[in-house]
């Protein structure tokens, strides 16, 4: 079976991180995120010390550094049989640079998967999310089937559930607007290259995962 390289394009709370892990676990595909690349590059080298300083101050990392790290990672042998690129590219400029990297290292773009999810459904996934600080179980107070049996209490260990301070409608609106302005144009960019596939991400993780499996297996 010839597994393809995969890029995910998705609005906030579409579930791409969870799906990426499921895909990576099942098919033993490297799951490559820019955040992990940056953290993994912190070492005693001059570049590593610079990255540590920038990250500790919450400063933006230049595209040039991210692209350099990405090229190094994709050149490793474990990427020869397919990989999942999560969180990159974030805009058309980065996509153009990524195309150039692929030419330089002799790899095919594979497929780009767009997660089509209703904005209000995605918002519910954020603002309704609560989790257990003890065992890590995650619930959603607004989505049927994902609610705790007793409101505010973990089903598994009985601990009081907590909500992240940034899981608010206001923060979601900000993140969504950034996505629409910066990332969504990638849909047309990759559609014009005939590598874009769309999955319906409104119906839950298992359904979304099944659709993606069909795509990467060429079915």
State yes or no: pLDDT of 211 exceeds 90. Answer: yes
- Asked, for residue 14, whether it belongs to a domain, the answer is yes
SS3 content of the chain, % helix, strand, coil (to 5): 45, 15, 40
Q: Band of the pLDDT at 54, cuts 50, 70, 90?
A: confident
Q: Is residue 167 part of a domain?
A: no
The 8-class DSSP code of residue 160 comes to B
Indicate whether 64 belongs to any domain. yes
CB atoms within 10 A of CB 66: 21
Q: Please, what is the Cα angle at 46 between 83 and 100, to 5 degrees?
A: 35
Average of per-residue pLDDT across 32-59:
83
Read off φ and ψ for residue 196, nearest 5 degrees.
Answer: -90, 135
CA distance 15 to 106: 30
Q: Is 163 helix (H, G, I), strand (E, B) or coil?
A: coil
The pLDDT tens digits for 142-171 are 988 899 999 999 999 999 999 988 889 998
The reply to whether 147 falls in a domain is no
In a domain, 166, yes or no: no
Enzyme catalytic residues? 16, 90, 129, 164, 175
How far apart, in whole angstroms, are the C-alpha atoms of residue 195 and residue 131?
37
Question: What is the token pair recorded at 87?
Answer: 């969180």
Residue 142 within any structural domain of the chain: no
33: in domain: yes
Mean pLDDT of all residues in the chain? 91
Residue 170: inside a domain: no
**Residue 103, domain CATH:** 3.40.50.300
Q: In this predicted structure, what is the pLDDT of residue 2?
A: 66
CA 206 from chain centre, in angstroms, equals 16
Cβ contacts of residue 83 below 8 Å, gap of 6+?
Answer: 5, 6, 29, 30, 31, 32, 74
Q: How many CA atoms lie within 13 A of 14 on its CB side?
A: 25
Structure-block tokens of residue 54: 């920038």
Strands of the chain, DSSP E: 6-9, 31-33, 84-86, 111-116, 129-131, 138-140, 196-200
* Tens-digit pLDDT profile for residues 195-210: 999 999 998 889 999 9
Q: What is the residue range of 196's domain?
A: 6-118+176-216
Residues 6+ apart with CB under 8 A from 49: 42
Residue 216 scores a pLDDT above 90: no
**What's the number of CA atoms in the CB half-sphere (13 Å) around residue 35?**
4
- Give the pLDDT confidence score for residue 26 in this predicted structure: 92
Dihedral angle over CA of 85, 213, 116, 80, nearest 10: 20
pLDDT of residue 210: 94
Number of domains in the chain: 1
Q: Which of 213, 216, 211, 205 is nearest to 13 (CA)?
A: 205
């Amino acid at each position: 079976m010839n597994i393809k390289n995969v890029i995910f394009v998705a609005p906030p709370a579409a579930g791409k991180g969870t799906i990426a892990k499921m895909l990576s676990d099942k098919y033993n595909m490297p799951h490559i995120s820019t955040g992990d690349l940056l953290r993994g590059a912190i070492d005693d080298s001059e570049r590593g010390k610079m990255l540590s300083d920038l990250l500790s101050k919450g400063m933006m990392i230049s595209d040039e550094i991210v692209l350099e790290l990405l090229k190094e990672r994709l050149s490793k042998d474990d990427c020869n049989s397919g990989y999942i690129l999560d969180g990159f590219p974030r805009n058309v400029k980065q996509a153009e640079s990524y195309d150039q990297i692929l030419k330089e290292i002799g790899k095919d773009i594979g497929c780009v998967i767009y997660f089509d999810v209703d904005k209000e459904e995605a918002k519910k996934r954020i603002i309704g999310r609560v989790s257990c600080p003890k065992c890590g179980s995650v619930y959603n107070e607004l989505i049927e089937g994902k609610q705790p049996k007793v409101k505010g209490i973990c089903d598994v260990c009985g601990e009081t559930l907590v909500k992240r301070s940034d899981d608010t409608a206001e923060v979601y609106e900000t993140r969504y607007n950034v996505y629409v302005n910066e990332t969504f144009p990638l849909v047309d960019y990759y559609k014009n290259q005939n590598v874009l596939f769309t999955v319906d991400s409104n119906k839950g993780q298992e359904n979304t995962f099944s659709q993606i499996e069909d795509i990467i297996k060429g079915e």
